[in-house]
């Protein structure tokens, strides 16, 4: 058993059927075995080894499903279905990645079907951010909600929209691409890594937070963050949050600027979808509500939303941090497999 | 029978059950009797008489349902359910209007339940733009589509989002408020009638088209549109379209500006929802594809979308005009009643 393998709910306490969820990342493959009530029975992680190519990874994802079964003491055939969350953009009906920036050379590889072949189980294929959204909706921060918008702030910005039991995957596999809603139509808007200006991701990712700080330092901003960077510390969201907690004006300003843009994007998503809950997840959550910077960031987001939305929504829409962290994708993928299984088998 | 009553599909050819849809407008109440396949059996219109108050209108809406039954030669009890589309914002679970600008004094009146009492039938309550969206989705321009975003351009801008059989009415009855997505975050952005700056409606309604033209004339723009207005003609979208068709630069410019902003809003909705089809409806459709101005407007919208969206979506998402015109709301309300009836009775 690897150090990151975990065994949680005992098998005797599990509600059948059981589902496996696999979250494919650029660095790691995370796999979770989950029961029908959303409880975690086993967890397994191994490296993605992107450079070895997609067939090798598909084989390892298939083996992860067998490993989960061994960890829990069941046969793989006892797993009703597997969910696979993958970085997009995807072609969901075909089960392929169309063009994933951090998985070069994986385009058009029959990922879903090869994982099915290696695991011996049918596979539900989904965008990783949608899977994370479904995880939070099923058993995480939004489990009491009837609908959800999840924004995951990391290197990029992912989105998941869940309405009832509908995962908004889109007619062309591009649903819930909330990082790419337009928040600034000006030709001078910040450029998104996707190549278009003015997208939410261009203002609210870790990448853009770092770029904003760097630009202000280059323009002459001083203080403890600027001094730390000048002294050789790597400019990261964690460093910015640390210096904001110490009261540095530059660090605080760029965090509040990111929060302001996030609020603007959330207003548009609230007016289009009107979800019961909006969750903010991903690496860039600054210690969440437990940390003063996490609280300050969330308050600034809510303040921007409240001043721009309808009174009813300002009062009733819950905006808070996601709770499942890095497990949301694998648990949610298992949940999407469960939805498909129930649709097909009643 | 009034002049605007229509009898269409003969009763013998109808597929049961039958549904009635009522579309409440500031000027008229439109009512449609529709069969299970979406074919129109009868249509009836009468004035809303807003000043007589909501109980009077509810009684007239109830009578409209009885009138439809008479027109078709059935008993009202043969109508399985009634759908009621109303201007919003609504409180859908309560069946009330929360604050409708053009229905002063109707707030918190139990509209759904009073129409149910007067018609003797159970009533499904919906936002009017959502009902129109469902009408286009069920039997109109989008009837082959699996999902739809409808934008209706009139005095204001309404929205309807339909995904599969889900009408996105929202957790707080504010779903699909596509006129209120933020397209310009600047403090100097145009003001929406809702009181917030930068909403799509502030750039793409008939009201905003007229305001843009008026501002440019005040700033010294000349040409045939300016001359017509100076000569006493009322500045309307129809006048702007007529002068654009004659080649007037000002008229053409403001139409293209509205189309550009509409394209910007559509990109955001495409990236959030990824619908199979985007429809543009309402009064401001300039004769649709049949008219050179309608074609020019639609081409400019598509051009803005294509330069800002993902290649897959530029290629595959269908963007066109709605087809049901003023009947979409009543037919769609009947369709939403049908959805509820099928959920409750299998």
Q: What is the mean pLDDT of residues A159-166?
A: 95
How much is the mean pLDDT over chain A?
94
pLDDT for residue B7:
60
pLDDT for residue B6:
62
Q: Is the ipTM of this complex over 0.85?
A: yes
B192: region left, alpha or beta (phi > 0 left; psi from -120 to 50 alpha): beta
How much is the mean pLDDT over chain B?
94
CB A90 within 8 A of CB A173: yes
Q: Please name the residues between 161 and 200 in chain A that touch chain B, using a CB distance below 8 Å.
A: 161, 163-164, 166, 168-178, 180-186, 194, 196
- Give the separation between CA A107 and CA A56, rounded to whole angstroms: 15
Give A227-272 pLDDT, tens digit per residue: 999 999 999 999 999 999 999 999 999 999 999 999 999 999 999 9
Give B191-212 pLDDT, tens digit per residue: 999 999 999 999 999 999 999 9
Cα A79 from chain centre: 24
Question: Nearest-CA distance from B76 to chain A in Å?
Answer: 34
Q: Do the chains contact at B182 and A308, CB–CB below 8 Å?
A: yes
Q: What is the mean pLDDT of residues A175-192?
A: 96
CA dihedral B64, B68, B70, B74 (to 10 degrees): -130
pLDDT for residue B285:
93
- Give the separation between CA A170 and CA B136, rounded to whole angstroms: 19
Q: Residue A324: in which H helix or E strand, if any? A: none
CB A191 within 8 A of CB A315: no
The pLDDT of residue B12 is above 70: yes
Q: Do the chains contact at A168 and B269, CB–CB below 8 Å?
A: no
For β-strands B123-127 and B96-97, DSSP reports them as: unpaired
Q: What is the mean pLDDT of residues A289-294?
A: 94
The pLDDT of residue A3 is above 70: no
Residue whose token pair is 């003491």: A73
Q: Exposed, middle or buried by CB within 10 Å (0-12, 13-18, 19+), for B310?
A: buried
Partners of residue A269 in chain B, C-beta under 8 Å: 272
Residues in chain B: 346
Q: Do the chains contact at A312 and B146, CB–CB below 8 Å?
A: no
pLDDT for residue B325:
86
Residue whose token pair is 């409806």: B281
Comparing A121 with B101, the larger pLDDT belongs to: A121
The pLDDT of residue A4 is above 70: no
CB pairs under 8 A between A and B: 145
- Give the separation between CA B10 and CA A16, rounded to whole angstroms: 53
Q: What is the mean pLDDT of residues A296-316?
A: 97
Longest alpha-carbon distance in chain A: 63
Partners of residue B166 in chain A, C-beta under 8 Å: 163-164, 166
pLDDT for residue B84:
98
Question: Nearest-CA distance from B143 to chain A in Å?
Answer: 14
Phi first, then psi: give them for residue A78, nearest 5 degrees.
Answer: -80, -10
Q: What structural domains and CATH numbers belong to chain A?
A: 6-128 (3.30.420.40), 141-323 (3.30.420.40)
Reading the block at residue B279, the tokens are 């429809």
pLDDT for residue B2:
46
- Least Cα distance to A177 among A194, A162, A158 occurs for A158
Q: Do the chains contact at B174 and A271, CB–CB below 8 Å?
A: yes
Comparing A108 with B21, the larger pLDDT belongs to: B21
Q: What is the mean pLDDT of residues A75-100?
A: 94
CB A303 within 8 A of CB A263: yes
The pLDDT of residue A26 is above 90: no
Which member of B173, B177, B308 has the closest CB to residue A182?
B308
- Give the separation between CA A41 and CA A44, rounded to whole angstroms: 11
Q: What is the mean pLDDT of residues A66-73?
A: 96
Written as one string, the DSSP assignment of A200-247 is THHHHSHHHHHHHHHHHHHTT--SHHHHHHHTT----HHHHHHHHHTT
CB B136 within 8 A of CB B150: yes
Reading the block at residue B36, the tokens are 């299970």
CA dihedral B316, B321, B326, B332 (to 10 degrees): 0
Q: At what angle do helices B237-245 and B206-218 cross, to 10 degrees?
A: 60
Q: Tell me the three state secondary structure of residue A158.
A: strand
Partners of residue A174 in chain B, C-beta under 8 Å: 270-271, 274, 310, 312-313
pLDDT for residue A104:
79
pLDDT for residue B146:
95
Give B304-346 pLDDT, tens digit per residue: 999 999 999 999 999 999 998 889 999 999 999 999 999 998 7
A105 CB neighbour count, 10 Å cutoff: 10
CB A330 within 8 A of CB A30: yes
The pLDDT of residue A7 is above 70: no
CB B131 within 8 A of CB B329: yes
The pLDDT of residue B3 is above 60: no
For β-strands B157-163 and B147-153, DSSP reports them as: antiparallel
Q: Please name the residues between 85 and 104 in chain A that touch chain B, using a CB distance below 8 Å.
A: 89, 98
Residue whose token pair is 């640390």: A242
pLDDT for residue A103:
79
Q: What percent of chain B has pLDDT over 70?
A: 97
- For A228-241, letters b (16+ CB in 10 Å) and e give bbeeeeebebebbb
Q: Please name the residues between 254 and 273 in chain B that touch chain A, using a CB distance below 8 Å.
A: 261, 264, 267-273
Q: Do the chains contact at A268 and B182, CB–CB below 8 Å?
A: yes
Mutate to test the interface with A, among B91, B175, B182 (most CBs of A within 10 A): B182
The pLDDT of residue B1 is above 50: no
CB A35 within 8 A of CB A41: yes
Q: Do the chains contact at B146 and A274, CB–CB below 8 Å?
A: no
pLDDT bucket at A2, cuts 50 / 70 / 90: very low
pLDDT for residue B5:
58
Give the end-to-end CA distance of chain B in Å, rounded to a whole number: 36
Q: Do the chains contact at A171 and B308, CB–CB below 8 Å?
A: no
Partners of residue A144 in chain B, C-beta under 8 Å: none
Instruction: Pick the range with the lowest mean pLDDT from A156-160, B5-9, B82-86, B127-131.
Output: B5-9
Q: What are the C-alpha distances in Å from A297 to residues A188, A241, A306?
A: 26, 10, 14
The pLDDT of residue A97 is above 60: yes
pLDDT for residue A346:
72
Q: Do the chains contact at B185 and A269, CB–CB below 8 Å?
A: no
Residue B55: CA count within 13 A, CB half-sphere: 0
The three-state (H, E, C) secondary structure of chain B, written as one string: CCCCCEECCCHHHCCCCEEEEEEECCCEEEEEEECCCCCEEEEEEEECCHHHCHHHHHHHHHHHHHHHHHHHCCCHHHEEEEEEEECCCEECCCCEECCCCCCCCCCCCCHHHHHHHHHCCCEEEEEHHHHHHHHHHHHCCCCCCCEEEEEEECCCEEEEEEECCEECCCCCCCCCCHHHCECCCCCCCCECCCCCECECHHHHCHHHHHHHHHHHHHCCCCCHHHHHHHCCCCCCHHHHHHHHHCCCHHHHHHHHHHHHHHHHHHHHHHHHHCCCEEEEECCCCCCHHHCHHHHHHHHHHHHHHHHHCCHHHHHHCEEEECCCHHHHHHHHHHHHHHHHHHHHHC
Residue A28 DSSP code: E
Q: What is the mean pLDDT of residues B159-169?
A: 95
Residue whose token pair is 């548009």: A268
pLDDT for residue B104:
79
pLDDT for residue B103:
79
Q: Do the chains contact at A313 and B172, CB–CB below 8 Å?
A: yes
Q: At what angle do helices B292-308 and B237-245 cross, to 10 degrees?
A: 90
């Amino acid at each position: 058993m690897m150090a990151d393998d975990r065994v949680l709910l005992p098998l005797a306490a599990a509600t059948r059927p059981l589902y496996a969820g696999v979250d494919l990342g650029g660095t790691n493959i995370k796999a979770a075995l989950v029961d029908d009530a959303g409880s975690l029975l086993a967890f397994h992680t191994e490296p993605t080894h992107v450079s070895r190519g997609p067939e090798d990874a598909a084989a390892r994802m298939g083996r992860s499903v067998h490993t989960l079964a061994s960890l829990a003491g069941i046969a793989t055939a006892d797993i009703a279905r597997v969910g696979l969350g993958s970085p997009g953009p995807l072609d969901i009906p075909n089960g392929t990645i169309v063009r994933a920036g951090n998985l070069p050379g994986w385009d058009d590889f029959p990922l879903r079907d090869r994982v099915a072949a290696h695991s011996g189980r049918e596979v539900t294929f989904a965008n990783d951010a949608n899977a994370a959204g479904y995880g939070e909706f099923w058993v995480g921060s939004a489990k009491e909600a009837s609908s959800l918008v999840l924004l995951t702030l990391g290197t990029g910005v992912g989105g998941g929209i869940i309405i009832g039991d509908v995962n908004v995957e889109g007619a062309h596999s591009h649903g819930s691409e909330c990082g790419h809603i337009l928040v600034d139509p000006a030709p001078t808007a910040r450029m998104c890594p996707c190549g278009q200006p003015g997208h939410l991701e261009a203002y609210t990712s870790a990448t853009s937070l770092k770029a904003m700080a760097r630009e202000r330092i280059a323009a002459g901003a001083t203080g403890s963050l600027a001094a730390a960077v000048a002294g050789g510390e790597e400019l990261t969201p964690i460093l910015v949050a640390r210096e904001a907690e110490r009261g540095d004006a530059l660090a605080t300003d760029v965090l509040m600027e990111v929060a302001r843009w996030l609020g603007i994007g959330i207003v548009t998503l609230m007016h289009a979808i009107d979800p019961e809950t909006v969750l903010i997840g991903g690496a860039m959550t600054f210690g969440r509500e437990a940390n003063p910077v996490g609280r300050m960031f969330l308050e600034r987001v809510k303040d921007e939303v409240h001043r721009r939305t309808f009174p009813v929504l300002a009062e009733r829409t819950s905006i808070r941090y996601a709770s499942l962290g890095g497990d949301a994708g694998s648990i949610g993928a298992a949940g999407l497999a469960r939805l498909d299984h129930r649709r097909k088998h009643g």
